[in-house]
Amino acid sequence: MPIPGQEEWKFDTKVQYIKYKVLREVARCAFEDRLLATYTEIPKLIVKDKPTMRCCIYKERAIVEERIRLAMGGNKENPNVIEVIDIACDECSKSGYNVGSACRGCIAHRCADVCPRGAISFDEHQKAHIDKTKCVDCGRCAQVCPYSAIVNEKRPCEKACKVKAISMGEGGEAAIDNSKCISCGACAYMCPFGAIVDKSFILDVVKLIKESQNNEKYKLYAVIAPSISSQFSYAKLGQVISGIKELGFFTVVEAALGADMVAYAESKELSEKGFLTSSCCPAFVDYVEKAFPQMKEHVSHNLSPAATIAQYIKETDPTAKIVFMGPCTAKKMEFQKEKLKDIIDSTITFEELQALFDSRDIDLKSLPEDVLDNASYYGRIFARSGGLSDAVAQGLKEQEIEFDLKAVPCDGIEACRVALLKASKGLLPGNFIEGMACTGGCIGGAGCLTHGEKNKADVDKYGKEAYEKTITSAIGMMKK
Amino acid sequence: MKCTICIGSSCHLKGSRQIVEQLQYLVKENHLEDKVELGGTFCMGNCVNGVNVTLDDKLYSLSPETTKDFFDKEILAKVQ
């Protein structure tokens, strides 16, 4: 268990901490204009003279080199922002049913009796063995074993990937199928060896900060996701805002104000079309396009909240540059889309924001509290599952639109799959699918520093603290 | 003339929405839609003196209470 007060305490796992250390050093070198000259020194800086997690310091350093490559933007040939570091993959045993040490070598052999493929044989101690070339993973043997000695072991990445985009590559390492992957980052968060990583755009952000010349050449805006309310829990939200400005941003705007705009427009769109799915979550939209193309026409035509507010900022300040900061790895795919080109200039996660703070030695706890207040309660609760549905209901109410809303909030991509499948067959008892790829909504995002029980309550509390209590009042001051 | 109101966090908490609403109402009531263009921006870098409002690049510090006065003296008097 990490000790409170130490850096590790800022993250859920040591894997995140290692990634963070690399990002921090890369950012530090970039800020100090010495990246090309000194990035080769980073592995030695991070892996000292003794191995702490792998066979030897040379392997550890080689992996750090790979992490540096990803921190610097990763493989440009690969359009996916999620990449496998082959040499970091521990090549876990193949997913499927395996006989464990609990097998007592009984004489009943129920496992073999139920196996439809004759895949089970016994050694001289009567212990069972599964022939993987015959096994079809039906699981019947596991059901009948009186000792529960047969278990379905799944590689953590494959288990985390609910869209089944990960398989075992030829050399045993994880392989991602880009035609299925929705870049949600679940595998990156779950891999216990940190072998799957989201590519970083921090160097682009450092460049945007430097080239703004203290916001004189152009103004640099940070658009921040409402899930920020459950993050950086060691400091006050106002201190995080001060920290972002200390980094060199001109100002910070809530993506939640874009969410208010979306809720207002989406409720109207829903009442006109009669059936709709949300378009806020880029991983969900990607999933619809890849797995349910026939449902694509039903995806709301609204841009996501981040893109909506970014577009508005650029209307008020055409030379503005905008960086989105959030919990999401899929957002790193979204901002590169052709239709969002020139709207959002770069995207980073909360993990990367933490690395940027520390690369500049910005201690959030010592900073004064700035303010962040643009959106309403409803825009802010988009960060958790069910919030978007509540906001759409409110949008209908405030616009006095008569529409019998039957929202289906889908918490996680598996729930999305079930709802989309039913809807594609006309069997869904609802007319609005709130699609969120991560469990719990954005607060479950892979780019969060921490994930916890309290996060939902934090979002609701933050929502209630909003100065504006209705969507109409929050967006009322925007140019009509 | 162009009137820009700061709708950033700090000014928002000091009442910029109420100012926008008043100005929208006053412009409409006086039929100045063609002469006065209202707009918003997210920060003018002068948070301490908010709510910040610019009228053709000249900076003013307003509150909801002083908005009517500002409109009469700086906008209405000048466009008529």
Statement: residue A1 has pLDDT above 50: no
Beta carbons within 10 angstroms of residue A386's beta carbon: 18
CA nearest to A405, candidates A413, A415, A414, A395: A395
Q: Are A442 and A328 in contact (CB under 8 A)?
A: yes
Contact B39 A476 (CB under 8 A): no
Q: Are B42 and A313 in contact (CB under 8 A)?
A: yes
Contact B9 A371 (CB under 8 A): yes
Contact B7 A479 (CB under 8 A): no
pLDDT-derived band of residue A298, with 50, 70 and 90 as boundaries?
A: very high
**Tokens in use for B43?**
């920060």
Give residue A241's region: left, alpha or beta (phi > 0; psi -120 to 50): alpha
Task: Find chain B residues with C-beta within 8 A of A313's C-beta.
Answer: 42
| DSSP H helices in A317-405 | 331-334, 350-359, 377-380, 387-398
Angle between helices A387-398 and A255-273 (to 10 degrees): 70
Backbone angles phi, psi at A372, to 5 degrees: -140, 110
pLDDT on residue A160: 96
pLDDT on residue A34: 96
pLDDT-derived band of residue A5, with 50, 70 and 90 as boundaries?
A: low
Task: Find chain B residues with C-beta within 8 A of A254's C-beta.
Answer: 9
Q: Are A218 and A180 in contact (CB under 8 A)?
A: no
**Tokens in use for A408?**
């289906």
- How distant is the Cα of B4 from the closest Cα of chain A, in angstroms? 9
Helix (H) or strand (E) holding A347: strand A346-349
Average pLDDT over residues A282-310: 97
Statement: residue B49 has pLDDT above 80: yes
Backbone angles phi, psi at A56, to 5 degrees: -155, 165
Domain that holds residue B52: 2-79
- With 0-12 / 13-18 / 19 or more C-beta atoms within 10 angstroms meaning exposed / middle / buried, residue A184 is buried
> Could you give the CA distance from residue A168 to residue A73 in angstroms, rounded to a whole number?
25
> Could you give the CA distance from residue A241 to residue A232 in angstroms, rounded to a whole number?
11
CA distances from A95 to A75, A165, A252 (A): 28, 14, 45
ipTM: 0.93
Contact B43 A477 (CB under 8 A): no
- Touching check for A153 and chain B: CB below 8 Å? no
Provide the CATH number for the domain around residue B41. Answer: 3.40.30.10
Average pLDDT over residues A305-317: 96
Nearest CB partner across the interface for A317, out of B13, B16, B41: B41
- How distant is the Cα of B12 from the closest Cα of chain A, in angstroms? 7
Query: B-contacting residues of A 287-316, CB under 8 Å?
Result: 313, 316
* Mean of the per-residue pLDDT values of chain A: 95
The count of domains in chain B is 1
Contact A316 B39 (CB under 8 A): yes
Residues A16-64: tens digit of each pLDDT: 999 999 999 999 999 999 999 999 999 999 999 999 999 999 999 999 9
pLDDT on residue B57: 87
pLDDT on residue A478: 73
Average pLDDT over residues A454-470: 94
Average pLDDT over residues A158-171: 94
Contact A477 B8 (CB under 8 A): no
Task: Find chain A residues with C-beta within 8 A of B13's C-beta.
Answer: 371, 373, 467
Nearest CB partner across the interface for B42, out of A313, A371, A473: A313
CB hemisphere CA count around A282 (13 angstroms): 25
Average pLDDT over residues A404-413: 97
Contact B20 A316 (CB under 8 A): no
Helix (H) or strand (E) holding A260: helix A255-273
Q: Are A9 and A18 in contact (CB under 8 A)?
A: no
- How distant is the Cα of B18 from the closest Cα of chain A, in angstroms? 8
- Best of B4, B11, B12, B44 to substitute, by most chain A Cβ atoms within 10 angstroms, is B12
Residues B22-40: tens digit of each pLDDT: 999 999 999 999 999 999 9
Determine the residue type at A328. Answer: C
Statement: residue B80 has pLDDT above 90: no
- Touching check for B8 and chain A: CB below 8 Å? yes
- With 0-12 / 13-18 / 19 or more C-beta atoms within 10 angstroms meaning exposed / middle / buried, residue A297 is exposed
Nearest CB partner across the interface for B20, out of A371, A467, A477: A477
pLDDT-derived band of residue A2, with 50, 70 and 90 as boundaries?
A: very low
Between residues B3 and A5, the one the model is more confident about: B3
| DSSP-assigned letters across all residues of A378-396 | HHHGGGSTTHHHHHHHHHH
Look up the pTM and report it.
0.93
Residues A316-361: tens digit of each pLDDT: 999 999 999 999 999 999 999 999 989 999 999 999 999 999 999 9
Query: B-contacting residues of A 368-397, CB under 8 Å?
Result: 370-374
Statement: residue B78 has pLDDT above 80: yes
Beta carbons within 10 angstroms of residue A298's beta carbon: 17
pLDDT-derived band of residue A7, with 50, 70 and 90 as boundaries?
A: low
- How distant is the Cα of A237 from the closest Cα of chain B, in angstroms? 13
